[in-house]
Amino acid sequence: MKSFTAEFRAELEQILHQKLGGKSSIHEIVEVTGGSINEVYRLQTAAGFFILKLNSAQQFPTMFEQEAEGLEAIRKTKTVAVPEVIASGHIGYQSFLLLEYIETGSKTPTAMQLLGSQLAQMHQNTAPDFGFENDNYMGSLPQSNKKHESWQSFFVEERLKPMVKLAFDASFIDQKLVSDFESLYQKLGGFFEEEKPALIHGDLWGGNYLVGSEGKPYLIDPAVSYGFREFDLAMTHLFGGFNADFYQAYQEEFPLQKGWQQRVDLWNLYPLLLHLNLFGTGYLGQVKSGLKKFI
């Protein structure tokens, strides 16, 4: 645990003391799975258990600040729960985010039904425009949330075009595929009907929700914006982790447009392009096959 120098630990304990009061010494530090970007630890302290996320303050100076903003936006809806943000900031060369620790339980049918209905309730929170007050990250790549009046414009200009340019500049895709995407931009509005912007999680794959020990669902690691709610539902299909109980409860609470299942591959072009840019051409086949259905 190279991050936990004596100086770092002392500063972190001081932050805990300021936020929580009383005794706040760290008794145990256990590294847990945190993906490819962050170091993640479970802290046992005199005040209880917490999750600590760390990354490079130089490489990702605002990532955790923006993650905290996303968690707060979801929390304010009073729908799906999120872990409480205890503190965020910089200690030396590292950024940190200190969160409530959630003891996980089973993803029972009841829990999945609750997640579906609560997500549908969250999606009923709207805004005048598509976008968000601040930019954020999707994985380790910056994500622009410049505001647009329509989802078509937002999805093309702030989601697809930046990823296509990045992939072309890295030689992951050729000019033919760029031209195919340009064809899609012209046709996109014919595939769906515009709706009011919905507060979406933005990175809703199976690893970004938890079920607590008492069956309560939580969302984690958001990449929020006010977007098209089908985008969240599409991402739930990308890597699995959601079942029929989830989708049935969502539909009962806030029915989706007819034919939404046929647009899953359309909205998933964005996360697949992102994975192509992060991890290479292993995702190129999925990008091409998904795009082919809509041009």
pLDDT tens figures, 81-97: 999 999 999 998 999 99
> Is the CB of residue 34 less than 8 Å from the CB of residue 48?
no
Show the tokens assigned to 229.
Answer: 């709610």
pLDDT digits (tens, 9 = 90+) for 250-262: 999 999 999 999 9
Distance between CA atoms of residues 124 and 121, nearest Å: 5
Is 260 buried (19+), middle (13-18) or exposed (0-12) by CB count in 10 A?
middle
Q: Give me the torsion for CA of 104, 122, 190, 148, rounded to 10°.
A: -110
Grade residue 37 by pLDDT with cuts at 50, 70 and 90: confident
pLDDT digits (tens, 9 = 90+) for 218-228: 999 999 999 99
Q: Count of CB atoms within 10 A of residue 55's CB?
A: 21
Among residues 129, 174, 203, 245, the one annotated as catalytic is 203
Q: What letter does residue 78 receive in the DSSP assignment? A: T
Distance between CA atoms of residues 249 and 98, nearest Å: 32
Q: Is the pLDDT of residue 76 over 90?
A: yes
Domain boundary assignment for the chain: 6-100, 109-292
Superfamily name and number for 6-100: Phosphorylase Kinase; domain 1 (3.30.200.20)
Residues forming beta bridges with residue 34, ordered by sequence position: none
Q: Is the pLDDT of residue 3 over 80?
A: no
Active site residue 203: yes
- What is the average pLDDT across 21-31? 84
> Can you say whether residue 35 is alpha, beta or left, with left for phi > 0 and alpha for psi between -120 and 50 degrees?
left
pLDDT digits (tens, 9 = 90+) for 254-284: 999 999 999 999 999 999 999 999 999 999 9
> Is the CB of residue 220 less than 8 Å from the CB of residue 83?
yes
pLDDT digits (tens, 9 = 90+) for 63-75: 999 999 999 999 9
Q: How many helices (H) and strands (E) does the chain have?
A: 11, 11
Show the tokens assigned to 284.
Answer: 């190129």
Nearest of 214, 250, 194 to residue 79 by alpha carbon: 250
The three-class DSSP label of residue 71 is helix
Query: pTM score, two decimals?
Result: 0.95
Residue entry with tokens 């302290």: 45
Assigned CATH class of 109-292? alpha beta
